[in-house]
Amino acid sequence: MDSSEKQYELINRLKSLGISHNVLEAMNKINRHDFVLPEDKDKAYYDTALSIGCGQTISAPHMVAIMCDLLELKEGDKVLEIGTGSGYNAAVISELVGYHGHVYTIERIKALMHFAKSNLDKANYSNITLLHKDGSCGEPAYAPYDKICVTSAAPKIPEIILGQLSNNGILVIPVGNNTQHLFVVKKDDKGKIFKERKESVLFVPLIGKYGFEDFNQKN
Ligand code: SAM
């Protein structure tokens, strides 16, 4: 099977899970094999997380799709992603927000930010800005954001990140230590906050000032 046939099978699998048409269309435009390590190219279209080095992973395609659906992404949205990893999720968001939207994506591990940059450069995305810093503090410079997507698990929802979400905005974030759940946090037009707990998930930890402690201290 070549990569386009594998991609076709993956998209059909995601369709059977009830993922929306616009998210499927965005994912279909992106070669996941451009975002994995050379030794994993043959596994790029499996619906699983894969190692990208530095103890981190590219999330499973169904998880990327579910988070994008929960974010209700639309043309023109300004989005903050915390946890760039391979850059794949940023690419999917970029397709969904289009030319008039923008994705600011933060990665704390420099080597991964370079990995993501070289992956994203293959497709020439003009609406993605990569930032190397502690994303547990968000990024006040471009706030407020229409949508915020956190791709690593926080001990609790950081207030500082919530403060950078615009009214009518949506934040999707995995929360928890041993047991994690996905949370969807919405602000209404007056800034009132509504939190909803969704399915249990398994993410690498958000490390930083408002995340978990870094026990390795390598970065
Ligand atoms: N979205 C990624 C993709 O499409 O490949 C997958 C992200 S991976 C599951 C989580 C990422 O969050 C890792 O690359 C990790 O280094 C990063 N991370 C953890 N804590 C962070 C922090 N405080 N700021 C920025 N990135 C962080």
- pLDDT tens-digit map of 24-51: 999 999 999 999 999 999 999 999 999 9
Query: Is 206 inside a domain boundary?
Result: no
User: Ligand 1 in contact with 161 (CB < 6 A)?
Assistant: no
Residue 215 is predicted with a pLDDT of 75
pTM of structure:
0.97
- The two tokens of residue 187 are 């602000």
Average pLDDT over residues 69-92: 98
Residue 124 is predicted with a pLDDT of 85
Query: Quick one: pLDDT band at residue 217, thresholds 50, 70, 90?
Result: low
Q: Is the dihedral of CA 34, 175, 111, 145 positive or negative?
A: positive
Q: Is the dihedral of CA 115, 118, 122, 127 positive or negative?
A: positive
Query: Is 24 inside a domain boundary?
Result: no
Using only the alpha carbons of the chain, give its radius of gyration: 16
Annotated catalytic, 16?
A: no
User: Ligand 1 in contact with 204 (CB < 6 A)?
Assistant: yes
Query: Is 130 inside a domain boundary?
Result: yes
Residue 83 Cα to ligand 1 midpoint, Å, equals 3
Query: Is 19 inside a domain boundary?
Result: no
d(CA 138, CA 8): 35
Query: Is 214 inside a domain boundary?
Result: no
Q: Which amino acid is at 68?
A: C
Please choose from 56, 80, 214 the residue to mutate so as to test ligand 1's pocket, defined by most ligand atoms within 8 A of CB.
Answer: 56
Residue 178 is predicted with a pLDDT of 87
Number of structural domains (the chain) is 1
Query: Is 135 inside a domain boundary?
Result: yes
Query: Is 145 inside a domain boundary?
Result: yes
Cβ-based burial of 218 (10 A; exposed 0-12, middle 13-18, buried ≥19)? exposed
Express each pLDDT in 130-146 by its tens digit. 999 999 999 999 999 99
Instruction: Find residue 107's DSSP bridge partners.
Output: 132
Average pLDDT, the chain: 96
Tell the residue nearest (CA) to atom 2 of ligand 1.
85
Q: Which amino acid is at 72?
A: E
What CATH code is carried by the domain that includes residue 184? Answer: 3.40.50.150
Tell the residue nearest (CA) to atom 22 of ligand 1.
135
Question: Which alpha helices (DSSP H) does 17-126 contain, by range?
Answer: 21-28, 61-71, 88-97, 110-121
Residue 67: how many CB atoms within 10 A of its CB?
26
- The two tokens of residue 185 are 């946090």
Query: Is 56 inside a domain boundary?
Result: no
Tell the residue nearest (CA) to atom 7 of ligand 1.
85
Residue 219 is predicted with a pLDDT of 47
Residue 122 lies in domain: 63-201
